[in-house]
């Protein structure tokens, strides 16, 4: 089938707009090459510009828009031809963090309103978790796990999947999430001695970097209240209780390289 007959809308990381055309003309392009009636083109483009919040910029050129506005224009152009599938190839990768977060929420709302099957390719774990109904984690071109966001996070099929979807530490040969690690000030059976190497305040949470007794580096993620109660400081000795339910046996090196791979979400 010809590309225009495949029923696929495509949005690239870089919006790839026609610089010499207005926003309206860019969105209308796919409809015009399909020989739609001018009145139908006008109505469809106006509907989409209203949907993506760009009505007042219809006469502007792409270079006059912000990065977020350009990506919304690109999505409107992809939706104009009423595709059966919308493919988004890291559409927010070139934008700053605040704009990405805003557009993720907007994209989810848009998906719910339009009901178009959407495949989002991303290296951003938070983006995949926030936007997707189903996540497929890929490693070197092969799918490692498919499932709902909570499923792949809480029940990873491999060390790679666990490492891809968030930071991990190795405690007694098992991979654990920092927020599942509990710290105590007093020694007790089943606890592991550790040295506090650094306490990093991240606003709403605190990251505690540790060196376990066997020399392994680990980290714990605590709330501010927990940290204040423990009164932790660099050089303190603490005792670690690793979780049982959240631990995954495996090669820590495999999890470490996971952040370089890709997730598909739909």
pLDDT in tens, 45-92: 999 999 888 999 999 999 999 888 888 898 889 888 888 888 888 887
Domain 3-122: give its CATH code. Answer: 3.40.50.300
CATH topology of domain 178-242: OB fold (Dihydrolipoamide Acetyltransferase, E2P) (2.40.50)
pLDDT in tens, 10-44: 887 666 788 899 999 999 998 898 889 999 999 99
Query: CA–CA separation, 22 vs 61, rounded Å?
Result: 5
Q: What percent of the chain has pLDDT over 90?
A: 40
Is residue 181 pLDDT above 80, yes or no?
A: yes
Name, of 7-11, 202-206, 240-244, the range with top average pLDDT: 202-206
pLDDT in tens, 103-160: 888 888 888 888 888 999 988 888 899 999 999 999 998 999 999 999 999 899 999 9
Q: What separation in angstroms does the CA of 165 have from each of 16, 99, 155, 227? A: 30, 21, 11, 25
Domain extent listing, the chain: 3-122, 178-242
Is residue 93 pLDDT above 80, yes or no?
A: no
Q: Are 233 and 242 in contact (CB under 8 A)?
A: no
Query: CA–CA separation, 136 vs 127, rounded Å?
Result: 13
Q: Sign of the C-alpha dihedral, residues 19, 22, 25, 26?
A: positive
pTM attached to this predicted model: 0.74
Q: Would you state the pLDDT for residue 37?
A: 92
């Amino acid at each position: 089938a010809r590309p225009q007959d495949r029923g696929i809308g495509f949005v690239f990381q870089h919006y790839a707009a026609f610089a010499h055309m207005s926003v309206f003309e860019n969105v209308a392009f796919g409809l015009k090459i399909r020989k739609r009636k001018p009145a139908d083109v006008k109505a469809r483009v106006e509907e989409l510009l209203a949907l993506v919040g760009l009505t007042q910029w219809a006469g502007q050129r792409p270079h006059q828009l912000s990065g977020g506005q350009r990506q919304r224009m690109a999505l409107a152009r992809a939706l104009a031809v009423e595709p059966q599938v919308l493919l988004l190839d890291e559409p927010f990768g070139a934008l700053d963090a605040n704009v990405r977060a805003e557009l993720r929420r907007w994209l989810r709302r848009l998906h719910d309103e339009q009901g178009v099957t959407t495949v989002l390719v991303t290296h951003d774990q938070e983006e995949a978790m926030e936007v997707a109904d189903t996540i497929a984690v890929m490693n070197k071109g092969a799918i490692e796990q498919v499932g709902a966001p909570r499923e792949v996070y809480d029940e990873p099929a491999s060390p790679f999947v666990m490492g891809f979807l968030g930071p991990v530490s190795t405690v007694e040969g098992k991979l654990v999430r920092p927020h599942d690690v509990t710290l105590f000030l007093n020694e007790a059976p089943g606890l592991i001695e550790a040295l506090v190497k650094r306490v990093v305040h991240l606003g709403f949470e605190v990251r505690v970097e540790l060196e376990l007794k066997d020399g392994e580096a680990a980290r714990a993620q605590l709330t501010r209240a927990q940290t204040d109660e423990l009164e932790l400081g660099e050089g303190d000795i603490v005792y670690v209780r690793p979780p049982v339910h959240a631990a995954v046996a495996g090669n820590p090196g495999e999890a470490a390289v996971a952040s370089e791979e890709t997730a598909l979400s739909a």
